[in-house]
């Protein structure tokens, strides 16, 4: 066990929870930064230390980071993403932290610049990290199975078709558990594997193929519906506008990429879509019993 705690922001969220549970299972000292200590306590029990605070409160950040060794930098998509993460990174540099592992946006949302408002915000944080005297790695995961693919499965279970702007535009979906495994790897390894790592699952899968896989798993026909991407409402918040941009980029085939980064770092293949679908359906069936 390394003596200095690993500070995790976004710890109570979708990905952060998986990372924290893995670190605790590895007997690593973890400190989580949260506005909701009761939720954190019920999620993680006494094994995780809790630092109550929020990104906009610099004093709470400084207190949380004091004497920490490494940082998992994670925050939700929103208007304040860049400012929040830059504030955490500055506090980390001021405290002399050894390493920052940042969860960034998908590569295709960041490159080329101007592709999406969320990607531009992540790019600003990545640039800022490069200017600080702190070892850092930015993980750029492709779309997560637990978010968009899980939503597709929910829609199909509710009797709806697989809806997509382009049914033949694939996505190199990644399982969030693999992102967590890579994040833990990069937090604990002797050195980082690179400044920017593009993480994907093993295969590019199209909405039409997902309908086929669901049809086999559910033993019934599953239709595909071609729907133009819903344009972002001018009144939509930052996340809604970003998600509308993602839909357009995906329809143009920009998420149809795979890399071998997960396999080369973890020494095993990343989890695939078929496994995710069968696990997800089994979990839904167990809930319904
Ligand atoms: N979904 C995808 O396909 C995908 C793909 C690539 C990259 N990403 C990136 O993944 C990130 C989102 O991860 P996620 O879905 O796991 O996040 P999430 O579930 O939305 O988690 C939100 C977390 O942020 C914390 N938080 C929010 N506002 C805060 C504040 N003001 N001060 C302190 N903590 C605050 C919350 O903590 P408390 O409520 O406990 O305080 C919670 O733990 C984004 O940066 C996104 O760009 C997502």
- Residue by residue, DSSP assigns 194-207 as -SEEEE--S--B-H
CA dist., res. 143 & res. 105, Å (int) = 9
Does residue 105 line the site of ligand 1, with CB under 6 A? yes
Quick: pLDDT tens for 170-210: 999 999 999 999 999 999 999 998 899 999 999 999 999 99
Phi/psi of residue 101, nearest 5 degrees: -110, 110
* H helix runs in the chain, sequence order: 14-25, 37-44, 58-65, 81-94, 107-110, 117-130, 150-157, 176-188, 207-218, 238-251, 261-266, 273-288
Does residue 14 line the site of ligand 1, with CB under 6 A? yes
CB burial readout 194-221, b (16+ within 10 A) else e: eeebbbbbbebbbbbbbbebbeebeeee
- Residue 132: asked if its preceding bond is cis (omega within 30°), the reply is no
CA dist., res. 8 & res. 131, Å (int) = 21
pLDDT, position 232: 67
* Pairing of β 48-52 and β 30-34: parallel
Residue 54 CA, closest ligand 1 atom number: 32
pLDDT, position 288: 83
Residue 242 CA, closest ligand 1 atom number: 47
Enumerate domains of the chain plus CATH numbers: 6-205+239-288 (3.40.50.720)
Quick: pLDDT tens for 76-88: 999 999 999 999 9
CA dist., res. 91 & res. 88, Å (int) = 5
| Whether the Cβ atoms of residue 50 and residue 37 lie closer than 8 Å to each other | yes
Distance (Å) from CA 90 to ligand 1 centroid = 19
Residue 11 CA, closest ligand 1 atom number: 43
Mapped onto helix, strand or coil, the DSSP state of residue 92 is helix
Q: Tell me: pLDDT of 2 over 60.
A: no
Residue owning the nearest CA to atom 21 of ligand 1: 13
Burial class (CB in 10 A: 0-12, 13-18, 19+), 226: middle
Does residue 143 line the site of ligand 1, with CB under 6 A? yes
Quick: pLDDT tens for 3-35: 799 999 999 999 999 999 999 999 999 999 999
Residue 81 CA, closest ligand 1 atom number: 45
Confidence of residue 1 (pLDDT cuts 50, 70, 90): very low
Arithmetic mean of pLDDT, 58-70:
97
Distance (Å) from CA 127 to ligand 1 centroid = 20
Report the number of secondary-structure helices (H) and strands (E) in the chain: 12, 9
Tokens for 121?
Answer: 């915000």
CA dist., res. 222 & res. 45, Å (int) = 42
Of 133, 150, 61, nearest to 97 by C-alpha is 133
């Amino acid at each position: 066990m390394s003596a200095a705690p690993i500070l995790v922001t976004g710890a109570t969220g979708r990905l952060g929870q998986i990372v924290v549970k893995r670190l605790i299972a590895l007997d690593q000292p973890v400190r989580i930064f949260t506005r909701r200590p009761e939720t954190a306590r019920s999620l993680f029990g006494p094994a995780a230390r809790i630092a109550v605070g929020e990104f906009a409160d610099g004093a709470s950040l400084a207190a949380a980071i004091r004497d920490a060794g490494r940082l998992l930098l994670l925050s939700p998509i929103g208007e304040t993403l860049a400012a929040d993460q830059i504030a955490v990174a500055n506090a980390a540099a001021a405290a002399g932290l050894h390493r920052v592992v940042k969860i960034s946006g998908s590569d295709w949302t960041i490159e080329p610049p101007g592709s999406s408002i969320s990607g531009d915000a992540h790019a600003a944080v990545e640039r800022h990290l490069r200017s600080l005297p702190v070892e850092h790695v930015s993980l750029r995961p492709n779309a997560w199975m637990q978010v968009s693919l899980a939503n597709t499965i929910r829609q199909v279970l509710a009797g709806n078709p697989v809806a997509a702007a382009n049914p033949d535009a694939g996505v190199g979906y990644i399982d969030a558990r693999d992102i967590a495994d890579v994040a833990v790897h990069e937090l604990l390894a002797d050195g980082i594997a690179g400044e920017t790592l593009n993480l994907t699952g093993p295969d590019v899968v199209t909405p039409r193929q997902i309908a086929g896989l669901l049809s086999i798993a559910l033993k019934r026909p599953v239709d595909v519906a071609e729907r133009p991407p819903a344009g972002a409402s001018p009144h939509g918040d930052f996340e809604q506008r970003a998600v509308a941009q993602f839909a357009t980029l995906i329809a143009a085939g920009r998420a149809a990429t795979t890399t071998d980064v997960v396999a080369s770092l973890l020494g095993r293949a990343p989890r695939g879509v078929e496994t995710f679908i069968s696990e997800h359906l089994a979990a839904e069936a167990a809930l319904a019993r």
